Structure 1
Amino acid sequence: MIAAGRVPDSSYRPTSLPGMGLGDIRYEHVIAATEEFRRLGRDKFLRTYGFGRAMSYELVLDGRRYDSKAIAGVAHGYATGVFWKARDFSGGAATVARCLRELGFVVETGEPSSNRAALLARLRNLKVSRGPGNPAPSRHQPLSLLWAISRAADERPRLTPWPTFRDEVGPLLVEFGLPNAKATPEYPFWHLQGSELWEVRGIPAELAKRMPTTGTFNEHHPQAGFTAETADLLRDPVTRLEAIATICETYLEDVDRQALFARTGLSGYTTAGDLLSPSEDDSADGATDEYGRAIGPAPRRDATRSVIVRDETLARKVKELEDNRCQICDTTLRYLNRPYSQAAHIRGLGSPHHGPDELQNLLCLCPNCHVLFDGLEIYVDSDGLVRGTRDDRDPRPLRRDPRHPVDEAHIAYHRTLCTLTARKPEGG
């Protein structure tokens, strides 16, 4: 999709922007970047080149949407051989958008804050039913929405066929619905349209004047899911987290979040980082003697993992700025006769958080505090005090070197995660 009235010219160069070098980018370099984006997929593309998800500006080409800053950084690499990362831009996303538009591309932006507020307001005011003798609102629609948000986070198709919805959501309603409530997945499948966030397709108009019967659903195999506008909003990790928190706090206050997230495919929201929960399936049984002591070396198992490539320069930088001293507990460790600390991302790099690999998203922590921070046991409140999510520790200020900027938006994101699982943190 090219901007109306402009014919792309491979020799055209945008106005050079002081200090940025975006003037080196040409039309064909942007096209090459978008082709690599499609080939690798969004998540791998962003991880490879050190970018987070676009918060507002997106390049739109042939019906696809691309993270504009990441595309510009990779296009710069195709133009000059130097592939920029997020930290290499001296200007904001609006400057990148101007460059791409001068090249003839469409770059779209909305008003994410107001759109997000409208989305959250609709989630708080779902038209849920209340059963006779039970004043609590039905959980059918909230549970269905969490299931759909999980699909959005995994970038699965926006619309889901009725048989899939029935077979996957039905058991959720049995397990997490109100006591003695009947599991009727056909009701949220149809009535979520009242939220203005959901649509149903595939039911003939003459049968859609009132809620169709289950038999009609089974016969016509309709599809349902978020509207295109809602799905676009939920692509933003911050909006997605706020939507999940809103649903849980409004309708699912007494539900076991750990179990619920595991069942709905949202288990990534139970940790801020990449910690792996121990599992009996991951252990290997070795030979033991009659007393249960191991015989011989520990057994081994071949394994293949995909890991996020972090910028080690940034990790060294934050440790240097903080003098390898934990910003939470002030501990300075030594290992092999050298100072030892860990660079901890505030908003995790991997799915579903998609945080940026940048200095503003890093803390210098000792291993103990790193584990507690990633495990959502501690958080930073709106006054900059580190607190325990279980109120089991005295608050203390997060130490910050003036040369080490920390993005408050990342701190707030982590705090919301803690709120979601422990329901203790407030503010921000």
Structure 2
Amino acid sequence: MPSRRDVLGAGGAVCLGALSGCLGRTYAAPETPRGEWRTARRDARNAASAADATPPADPSVAWSRSFGARSHVESVLVGRDAVYAVGPTTTAMLDPTTGETRETTGGAGQTPADGVTRVAALGDDSLYTADGTAVRAFDAAGNPRWETRHPGLPDGAVTRVYGLLPTDDGVLCGTHGGVAAFDAGDGTHRWTFGDGGLGGFYPAVADGRAYVCSPGPTYALSRPSPLGALFGGGPKVAWERGSPGPGTWPVVADGRVLVGDGGLTTRANRSHSLSAFDTDGEGGWTSSADGSVVGLAASEEKSLAVAVRFDAVSGEGRVVALDVATGDEQWSRADVDITDDFLGSVAVAGDACLVAGYSRASENPVRALDAATGETRWHRTVEGDVTAVVPAGKRVYAATALGTLVAFA
């Protein structure tokens, strides 16, 4: 029979092993496979960039699906064998070849109030969604796995959601007041970071840390202390940097965390900055110009950031490409139909930049620009305000506020 000392020694070894595991753990997110687009921004870096994508040189419509004028498509996800159209109350799983619906998840209970956003993201074997009341998980066939109400949300209340990221350590959900983490297996709430105030909190994960853009500072978060991790403690602030205004998604590329000032204002002589912080919180650069940053993408391979700016004073918009390392402007376009009603998106696809604009007409433009020069490669239109443009593999998907999803090939 083992002695009491042996038992205590074994127990101590187990605890030390657990603690050493916590010491060695960092935030991590699974890599997005080639040809896929797993979050609203492709992956946990929020870069909206697919280096492996090869958009068509002269695209035509492969298929088009309409979900009804009241069922605008919020975002588009592309998985291994399905395309996902994220709507106000449902997520439709579509055949990538034909666009036909295979399965539908959701229901009216998933959007409890008008104007409340809904987001979704793909894991290796699950679909995750979040709306004004809860975060949910579904299996590959669309069957519910778990549902967890946003922590601290009063009965009958709703919140806005700003991002959903499956990571190796759980699912992160940005809301109006903080970022919450949920266990990916059963939905258990683990922790919440944030002051609960007004404004959007946007999460990112890269290089071993979680990054959060808030209405105030931009934060880098490290893992909890070993003892805190054992008792469900939350993350620690590794560093914070001041942000100039309502932020965009934090975009991580080429050793930088990029954050833009997205606040719309009609006050004259008010410049808006795009800032790049080193991932260790030191150094970086800031580029100030007229126009709020209403869209942002970055290519790590090309060290190129592409920002969409809109100036509420002049009513003009433009697309600007900057060097991620220095902030130097590479090219600029002021003729791509950017207005204060900008609902589209910008993405980098291989050596092209895709920009969805707004024309105040029934048909709205989707453009492919040369990433190196900004020159137009092609120009197509879709009916309705463009809410998302997604490059995946050899196709480009454009979603609209009129409930249409178009696949170009």
Smaller-chain TM-score bracket: under 0.3
- Which structure has more helix as a fraction of its residues? 1
- Which structure has more strand as a fraction of its residues? 2
| Structure with larger Rg | 1
Structure ranking higher on relative contact order (CA contacts 8 Å, 6+ apart): 2
TM-score normalised by the chain length of structure 2: 0.25
